[in-house]
């Protein structure tokens, strides 16, 4: 059956975004074969429609109904090859990320264990350059395969050309809305070394296994982050902000216990959750949306929240953090309007000047 003939109309997206926000897609299709991408692209062009690809729906804030085609990436498959020094794992974009990480650990191919229990799919991982507990996707990705809308063919880009940065990549800039990712290839070195320099992992013994790290990461994430199947959320709502070392020094004079981490280019990273927590905002509600009572970095849908509730809550948090710390929080979650992703600042505006 032609993939175009499988396109549905007026599909409810509530179950396709982990916030559980009510929104509809004018058109909707499940992509299960990468050979169908070209046909889909031709149809999109002929209909002159906006389009977007979703995976687990775990990083989306749907502001309104979507006026075009939503493509649910359901591509599956894992291929492994190896050399004397490393494993090369080519995974389809629709594979569930956590299940994929779990599988690699079980297969004795360590290297991804610190990234356990991050919601979403393999295809979304390079877009956001996901990271946790001292490891980023950029550390383990070797190349990304995608279908280019411009050239009408499948292309491969190396990790070096992906322009990975903190929660950023070329797929959010030059290649934004220009590609559909089909596969991601990972290079995992056989000379594995545990990475336990971050947070609770420091407490682990020196001689540990990837399975131990995987289990501990899962334990910590479960204790901190609510299950979206139980309480609608998109995980960490804000990025950890980067500040100059000069600004950090000023902040530490006022808040000596402020958590901070060295970053690149003379910058330091602050913990967004700590900043929000200092303002006593855990449990703060706007309409049906709230700051999670146990994790300040997570915004949750507690009572049929609408996008407007989450936006108002986000504005309030940004305003309070700006006034107290002179630090501007940026959402990590992608804002989606009727025609596609929109820059959060265009929706949120800027906070007022600090007091």
- The DSSP code sequence of 217-265 is HHHHHHHHS--TTTSEEEEE-BPPPEEEHHHHHHHHHH-TT--EEE-ST
Report the pLDDT value the prediction gives residue 264, as an integer from 0 to 100: 79
CB 289 within 8 A of CB 300: yes
First-residue to last-residue Cα distance in the chain: 62
Q: Distances from the Cα of 93 to the Cαs of 5, 135, 177, 325, 347, in angstroms? A: 22, 20, 16, 39, 29
Separation between Cα atoms, residue 200 and residue 198, nearest integer Å: 6
Cβ contacts of 207 within 8 Å, gap of 6 or more: none
**134-193 pLDDT per residue, tens:** 899 999 999 999 999 999 999 999 999 999 998 899 999 999 999 999 999 999 999 999
Separation between Cα atoms, residue 236 and residue 300, nearest integer Å: 10
| Mean pLDDT score, 311-334 | 97
Report the pLDDT value the prediction gives residue 206, as an integer from 0 to 100: 67
Separation between Cα atoms, residue 244 and residue 50, nearest integer Å: 39
Q: Which of these is catalytic: 76, 90, 167, 315?
A: 167
Beta bridge partners of 222: none
Report the pLDDT value the prediction gives residue 354, as an integer from 0 to 100: 52
| Mean pLDDT score, 103-113 | 97
Report the pLDDT value the prediction gives residue 355, as an integer from 0 to 100: 46
Q: To the nearest whole number, what is the mean pLDDT of the chain?
A: 94
Q: Which of these is catalytic: 58, 169, 182, 236?
A: 236
Tokens for 180, please give them: 């559909």
Whether 236 sits among the annotated catalytic residues: the reply is yes
**211-257 pLDDT per residue, tens:** 999 999 999 889 888 999 899 999 999 999 999 999 999 999 999 99
Answer yes or no: is pLDDT of 38 > 60.
yes
Tokens for 99, please give them: 């299940």
Q: Distances from the Cα of 138 to the Cαs of 51, 144, 253, 271, in angstroms? A: 27, 11, 34, 21
pLDDT band at residue 353 under the 50/70/90 scheme: low
**165-182 pLDDT per residue, tens:** 988 999 999 999 999 999
Separation between Cα atoms, residue 218 and residue 224, nearest integer Å: 10
Separation between Cα atoms, residue 303 and residue 163, nearest integer Å: 39
Q: Which of these is catalytic: 95, 169, 332, 334?
A: 332
Answer yes or no: is pLDDT of 34 > 60.
yes
Half-sphere exposure of 135 (CA within 13 A, CB side): 22
Report the pLDDT value the prediction gives residue 313, as an integer from 0 to 100: 98
CB 19 within 8 A of CB 233: yes
By percentage, how much of the chain surpasses pLDDT 70? 98
With CA atoms as reference, report the closest residue to 143 among 82, 98, 105, 91: 91
Tokens for 300, please give them: 């949750």
């Amino acid at each position: 059956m032609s993939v175009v003939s499988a396109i549905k109309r007026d599909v409810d997206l509530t179950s396709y975004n982990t916030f559980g926000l009510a929104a509809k897609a004018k058109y909707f299709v499940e992509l299960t074969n990468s050979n169908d991408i070209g046909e889909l692209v031709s149809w999109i062009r002929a209909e002159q429609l906006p389009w977007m690809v979703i995976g687990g729906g775990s990083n989306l804030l749907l502001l309104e109904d979507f006026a075009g085609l939503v493509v649910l990436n359901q591509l599956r498959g894992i291929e492994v090859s190896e050399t004397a020094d490393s494993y090369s794992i080519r995974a389809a974009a629709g594979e569930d990320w956590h299940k994929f990480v779990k599988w690699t650990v079980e297969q004795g191919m360590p290297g991804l264990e610190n990234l356990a229990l991050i919601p979403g799919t393999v295809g979304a991982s390079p877009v956001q350059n996901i990271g946790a507990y001292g490891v980023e996707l950029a550390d383990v990705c070797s190349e990304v395969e995608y279908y280019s809308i411009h050239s009408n063919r499948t292309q491969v880009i190396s990790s070096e050309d992906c322009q990975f940065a903190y929660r950023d990549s070329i797929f959010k800039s030059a290649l934004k809305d220009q590609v559909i990712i089909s596969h991601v290839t990972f290079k995992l070195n056989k000379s594995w070394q545990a990475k336990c320099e971050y947070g609770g992992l420091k407490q682990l013994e020196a001689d540990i296994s990837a399975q131990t790290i995987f289990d501990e990461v899962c334990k910590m994430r479960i204790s901190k982050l609510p299950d979206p199947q139980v309480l609608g959320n998109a995980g960490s709502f804000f990025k950890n902000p980067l500040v100059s070392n000069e600004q950090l020094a000023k902040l530490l004079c006022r808040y000596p216990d402020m958590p901070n981490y060295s970053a690149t280019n003379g910058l330091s990273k602050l913990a967004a959750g700590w900043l929000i927590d200092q303002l006593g905002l855990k449990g703060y509600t706007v309409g049906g949306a709230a700051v999670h009572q146990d994790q300040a970095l997570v915004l949750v849908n507690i009572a049929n929240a609408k996008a407007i509730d989450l936006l108002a809550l986000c504005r309030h948090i940004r305003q309070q953090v700006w006034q107290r710390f002179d630090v501007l929080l940026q959402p990590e979650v992608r804002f989606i309007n009727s025609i596609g992703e929109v820059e959060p600042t265009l929706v949120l505006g800027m906070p007022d000047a600090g007091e």
